[in-house]
Chains A and B, each alone.
Chain A
Amino acid sequence: MSYIIDRRLNSKKKSTVNRQRFLRRYRAHIKKAVGNAMTQRSITDLNKGEKIAIPTRDLSEPQFHHGQGGVNDRVLPGNKEFVQGDRIPRPGGGAGQGGAGSGASDRGEGMDEFVFQISQEEFLNFMFEGLELPNMVKRKLAGNDSFHTVRAGISEEGTPGRLNVVRSMRAANARRIALTAKKRRHLKTLLAQLTEEEQKDPALRDRNKIQALQEEVRALRQRIERVPFLDDFDLKYNLLVRQPRPSSKAVMFCLMDVSGSMNQATKDMAKRFFLLLYLFLQRNYERTEIVFIRHHTSAKEVDEEEFFYSRETGGTIVSSALKLMQKVMQERYPSSEWNIYGAQASDGDNWNDDSSTCYQLLVNNIMPEMQYYSYIEITPRDHQALWHEYEGVQSLFPDHFAMEQIIDVGDIYPVFRELFSKRVTS
């Protein structure tokens, strides 16, 4: 007797834990690969999985086995030309003479890297591992502890209004099958016997037997019918739970210089930086909004497309952007409700007089409201007045203000990590 079971609906991800153990063990390799990928990828597919290659030797699970040398006797199939006593030169300088019959070992030439794919989620996890949003405060809206209800599976108990009909019927059906299977199998054989008996020549029929069988069939049918169609414990209810609605939200201000001195390559670098920051914020806050502000001599709030791709020329007045940012903050993002992050990218050019205005604006109006403000300067040249003024800001707000210089694309990720690396003493 064989039992046939449909297991296809069982959980599929049995190996998930083991896979995670594997990723955990090789996180150093994976992090390195992720870091490399970050510098090579184009902007649009930062948010994807990644192929990871790990040298096979680092993955080996060692076993005692024979090495090369000594006397090695082997039997091979497919002899074509040899006779006993033939001598054959060693092929390929002794390579490929792996231990006789050592079955599954794939070592040797061929695969020297173990390549596999990690998902987008895992990729981002590794990308932001060890990073932390500085001064992350969950600012709660006073008195607004709102809840929303979400479905949370199936429960054995509940109000009639939440009865899950499909699940209940399925459970009832399963129970009926389980409770009557044996009886019905028996019934089937009885019926077969009965028809066999009835089809016999009337003279040969055994009336007593037929009667006994009919009696038994009737009793069995009754017992099958007695199994209730729907029982109490078949009932399944939709389970709803109330979840508090997180009230922490973040807004990120992206400020970029689009004056004539910023070329497309510089803007690309800035964009990558903003993108990283955006992904990072998204993982930390339930809701993240972005405000794009670009400026040359005057500042303007724009959408993403225009922010990155439209070209402008002209001089540079950085303070115009800061003023606009301050205005937007006051109008739409009161710091009592929002966690405010600022990121500014520029090539360092500014009207000389303007840099001190920027300093004043930042120190007096903007920084007190900020969670964190990061400034990156994308230039291979020497720093100018703006940088030096910003150094002053940094000394006043060492925990909330950070600045770094980026020279080429490869610097972005390291600089980003530097800006947001976990600080032990904060």
Chain B
Amino acid sequence: MMGGKVREQDKQLISTGSEWTFELIQEYDLAISEIAAEFGLDTYPNQIEVISSEQMMDAYSSIGMPVGYNHWSFGKQFITVENNYKRGRMGLAYEIVINSNPCIAYLMEENTMTMQALVIAHACYGHNSFFKGNYLFRTWTDASSIIDYLIFARNFIGQCEERYGLEAVEELLDSCHALMNYGVDRYKRPYPISAEEEERRQKEREEYRQRQLNDLWRTIPKSEAETGDDDARRFPEEPHENILYFIEKHAPLLENWQREVIRIVRKLAQYFYPQRQTQVMNEGWATFWHYTLLNELHQRGRVSDGFMLEFLQSHTSVIYQPPYDSPHYGGINPYALGFAMYSDLRRICESPTEEDRHWFPDIAGSNWVDTLHFAMRDFKDESFILQFLSPKVMRDLKLFSIRDDDRQKEIEVTAIHNEEGYRAVREQLAGQYNLGNREPNIQVYSVNTRGDRSLTLHHFQHQRRPLGEDTQEIMRHLHRLWGFDVHLHSVNDGEITASFHCPEPGMKAVHGRDDDPMLIPAPI
């Protein structure tokens, strides 16, 4: 049926025009997959879906997932995407790829044949092999069950909306989204999620949870003296970094369905957690492979020079890194950095210089395919950069590090791309990709179980950096979830530098129907 032509041998162009057909897509996919296999790329089966630009916008605004629960923020996202697209400010990304088994990749119907081939190489063999190989994805996500879980989540939240009203669910989701980044277990390996299992266990959890809560809150103060005692057993005994988890398990007033919703948001946060930690690696890997695979196709005479010119044109714009003082500068381009690093790794393996032998004695001159796979499998952005950022890449990108200390009048250039600076720049850059540095370190510190049930969180300051202006807003969300007073202290070297409270002292929190809880002065 499809792909009627019998493939003969290499040295024959797959196509010459820019129009794509399903047969051609299949042929390109086959040709690319053969080369990918030769390079040892191990992938999930691919499910390539051809969609229209409108559908691409839909996919975009539901965090790239094919199904999702309904929430206004996705509507906002959709409107933003639609606006940008209509004004031509943004070419839609040519691809979205979903970490699932089979791995779903979207091709946009407007793309030319060259672009489709590029996307196939990039998404279906680059990203796909990364999802399957990288340790973070292997341990933290379960590709085979994510779609089922999303359907479960969508249905569950839909039922809650019917039963408890749109508003109640929307408020809850708002609060959960605000704390989404704090709904992740950073060190503990989660159980794989499964929709069926979830539904089955939901009931059990409900009962169990109720029992547990009662136990916690049953602690009635024994005597006056004991309540004011600092030595009283602190709860939780150890600080908790997973704030949403803590709330799900211990918030006194939440209904069971609310706990389930929190759990859903938490599970999704957990699913996206590896992606947030492997931007450079993931995009770099996919970019390196589309470049390598398509060049290989060209060398074998399967694609024309015109194809390569079109491909290179979009490839170079993808990996362009504007300098820091350019108006287009928007941070370090993960495609550019990742591509440069993987390409340089290959160079170090294939034709090492004296410098490389000094910096990378283990890998200089080794088999490049094995080395790259190793570098893809067992690292995340932070450790990947710390381990593999070579002096040459630093020189090529002209990286330099600065220190902006609010106690100094000027910004100091702490290191540049020279012999003395390489290590410092590399460490600095790696630190920049450490989520622990990027996001404020906030943990549940204690719950006043014997008094007003207030929840206290501590923010451990990193390099004296304070919390941003959204903090008070999030305190209100925390308060909505916890149901009692919430306190947050910024701690620097054992000293409290700032405190946030909800309700703010002298104010009384009132939960508005439409809005966030508004703050009104308490009657005197």
Does any Cβ of B come within 8 Å of A75's Cβ? yes
B50 interface neighbour in A8, A80, A99, A185, Cβ under 8 Å: A8
In the complex, the answer to whether A15 meets B75 with C-beta atoms within 8 Å is yes
Hey, what's the 0/1 contact readout for A223-263 against B, CB within 8 Å counting as 1?
A: 00000000000000000000000000000000000000000
Rounded to whole angstroms, the CA-CA distance of A61 and B445 in the bound complex is 25
Interface status of A279 (Cβ within 8 A of chain B):
no
Among B174, B399, B439, the residue within 8 A (CB) of A65 is B439
Tell me which residues across on chain B come within 8 A of A19, comparing CB atoms: 75, 78-79
- CA of A418 to CA of B321 in the docked complex: distance in angstroms? 58
Interface 1/0s, chain A 21-39, versus B by CB < 8 A? 1111100100000000000
Contact A116 B399 (CB under 8 A): no
B456 in contact (CB, < 8 A):
no
Q: Is B386 an interface residue (CB 8 A)?
A: no
Contact B79 A2 (CB under 8 A): no
With A62-B470, A65-B468 known as contacts, the answer to whether A70 contacts B399 (CB < 8 A) is: no
Residues 374 to 433 of chain B near chain A (Cβ within 8 Å): 397-406, 409-418, 420-421, 425, 428-429, 431-433
**Is the CB of A148 closer than 8 A to any CB of chain B?**
no
From A12, A87, A114, B58 is in contact (CB under 8 Å) with A12
Given known contacts A3-B102, A87-B412, is B428 in contact with A73 (CB within 8 Å)? yes
Tell whether A222 is near chain B: CB-to-CB under 8 Å.
no
Cα distance, A3 to B414, chains bound together (Å): 52
Quick check: is A161 within 8 A (CB to CB) of the other chain? no
- Judge whether A62 and B406 touch: CB under 8 Å: no
Say if the beta carbon of A302 comes within 8 Å of chain B: no
Closest chain-A Cβ to B4's Cβ sits at a distance in Å of 9
A102 within 8 A of B: yes
Is B465's CB under 8 angstroms from A69's CB? yes
Min C-beta distance of B181 to chain A, whole Å: 6
Given the known inter-chain contacts A15-B75, A21-B170, please indicate yes or no for A75 contacting B332, CB distance below 8 A: yes
Are B75 and A18 closer than 8 Å at their CB atoms? Answer: yes
A102 to B464 alpha-carbon distance, docked (Å) = 17
User: Contact at B177–A18, with CB atoms within 8 Å?
Assistant: no
Give a binary string over A327-343; 1 marks a CB under 8 Å from any B CB, 0 the rest.
Answer: 00000000000000000
Distance, CA A4 to CA B1, complexed state (A): 13
Are B45 and A79 interface neighbours, CB within 8 A?
no
Tell me whether A72 and B398 are in contact (CB under 8 A).
Answer: no
Q: How distant is the Cα of A84 from the Cα of B25 in the complex, in angstroms?
A: 52
Cα A331 to Cα B474 in complex, Å, equals 67
User: Contact between A14 and B473 (Cβ–Cβ < 8 Å)?
Assistant: no
Tell me, in angstroms, the Cα distance from A117 to B440 when the chains sit together: 36
| Interface flag for B22 (CB, 8 Å) | yes
Residues of chain A within 8 A (CB-CB) of B402 are: 73-76, 88
| B160-186 interface (Cβ within 8 A of A) | 166, 170, 174, 177-182
> Counting CB contacts under 8 A, is A174 at the interface?
no
Partner of B398, one of A66, A80, A84, A97: A80
Q: Which residues of chain A in 73-116 are interfacial with respect to chain B, using CB atoms and an 8 Å cutoff?
A: 73-80, 82-90, 97, 99-103, 114-116
A99, B518: Cα distance in complex, Å: 28
A83, B26: Cβ atoms closer than 8 Å = no
Residues in B with CB closer than 8 Å to A89 are 409-411
Known contacts A21-B75, A85-B413, A88-B411, A2 near B6 by CB under 8 Å: no
**8 Å CB contacts to B: which residues of A16-71?**
17-25, 28, 59-71
Asked if B55 and A10 make an inter-chain contact with CB atoms under 8 angstroms apart, the answer reads: yes
Asked if A77 contacts B398 (CB within 8 A), the reply is yes
Q: Categorize the interface residue count of chain A.
A: 35 or more
Please tell me if A400 contacts chain B, counting CB pairs below 8 Å.
no
Q: Mark B37-75, 1 if CB is under 8 A from A, else 0.
A: 000000001111111101101100110000000111111
Check: A323 CB closer than 8 A to any chain B CB: no
A15 contacts B465, C-beta separation under 8 Å: no
Question: Is B1's CB under 8 angstroms from A177's CB?
Answer: yes
CB of A407 closer than 8 Å to a CB of B: no
Residues of B within 8 A of A136 (CB): none
- For the complex, what is the distance from the CA of A24 to the CA of B169, rounded to whole Å? 14
Among A63, A68, A85, find the residue whose CB has the most chain B CB atoms closer than 10 A.
A63
Tell me if A5 counts as interface (CB < 8 A to partner B): yes
Query: Mostly helix, strand, loop or mixed at chain B's interface?
Result: mixed
**A2-B124, A70-B461 given; A64·B325 CB < 8 A:** no
Which of B166, B181, B401, B514 has a CB less than 8 Å from the CB of A74?
B401
The residue of chain B having its C-beta at the shortest distance from the C-beta of A116 within the complex is B79
Tell me if B323 is interfacial: C-beta within 8 Å of chain A.
yes
CB of B467 within 8 A of chain A? yes
Q: Does A192 belong to the interface (CB within 8 Å)? A: yes
Q: Is A381 an interface residue (CB 8 A)?
A: no
Point out the residue from B48, B124, B412, B416 that lies within 8 Å of A79, measured CB to CB: B416
Answer whether residue A145 sits at the interface, using C-beta atoms and an 8 A cutoff: no
Chain A positions within 8 Å of B182 at CB level = 64
**CB of B469 within 8 Å of the partner chain:** yes
Would you give the shortest CB distance from A39 to chain B, in whole angstroms? 25
A70 near B466 with CB under 8 A, answer: yes
| Choice from B50, B62, B412, B463 contacting A86 with Cβ under 8 Å | B412
Chain A residues contacting B418 (CB-CB under 8 Å) are: 83-84
Q: How far is the CA of A92 from the CA of B404 in the complex (A)?
A: 14
| Structural contact, B78 and A62, CB atoms closer than 8 A | no
Q: Is A212 an interface residue (CB 8 A)?
A: no
Q: Which of B1, B178, B325, B404 has the most CB of A within 10 A?
A: B404
Decide if A6 touches B22 in the complex (CB within 8 Å). yes
Q: Which residues of the partner chain B approach A151 to less than 8 Å between Cβ atoms?
A: none
| A115 CA / B84 CA spacing, docked (Å) | 11
Closest chain B residue, CB of each to CB of A20: B75
Contact indicator B177/A64 (Cβ below 8 Å):
no
Q: Are A25 and B72 in contact (CB under 8 A)?
A: yes
Question: In this assembly, does A7 line the interface, its C-beta being within 8 Å of a C-beta of chain B?
Answer: yes
**Which residue of the partner chain, among A2, A60, A69, contacts B466 with CB atoms under 8 Å?**
A69
What chain A residues lie within 8 Å of B321 (beta carbons)? 77-78
A21 and B70 contact, CB distance less than 8 A: yes
A184 at the interface (CB under 8 A from B): yes
The residue on B at minimum CB distance from A111 is B80
The reply to whether B470 and A100 form a contact with Cβ atoms under 8 Å apart is: no
Q: What would be 7 A-B contacts, judged by CB atoms less than 8 Å apart?
A: A15-B57, A70-B464, A73-B404, A82-B416, A84-B413, A101-B332, A117-B83
Listed in ascending order, the chain B residues whose CB lies under 8 Å from chain A are 1-2, 6, 22, 25-26, 29, 33, 45-52, 54-55, 57-58, 61-62, 70-80, 82-83, 102, 109, 124, 166, 170, 174, 177-182, 321-326, 329, 331-332, 397-406, 409-418, 420-421, 425, 428-429, 431-433, 438-440, 442, 461-471, 473-474, 477, 514
Please name the 7 residue pairs, one residue from A and one from B, whose CB atoms are nearest each other, closest first. A78-B323, A22-B75, A70-B465, A18-B75, A70-B464, A76-B324, A62-B470
Given A22-B72, A25-B72, A62-B474, 13 extra CB contacts under 8 A: A8-B51, A15-B74, A21-B74, A24-B166, A28-B514, A63-B470, A64-B442, A71-B463, A72-B403, A76-B324, A79-B417, A100-B438, A101-B332
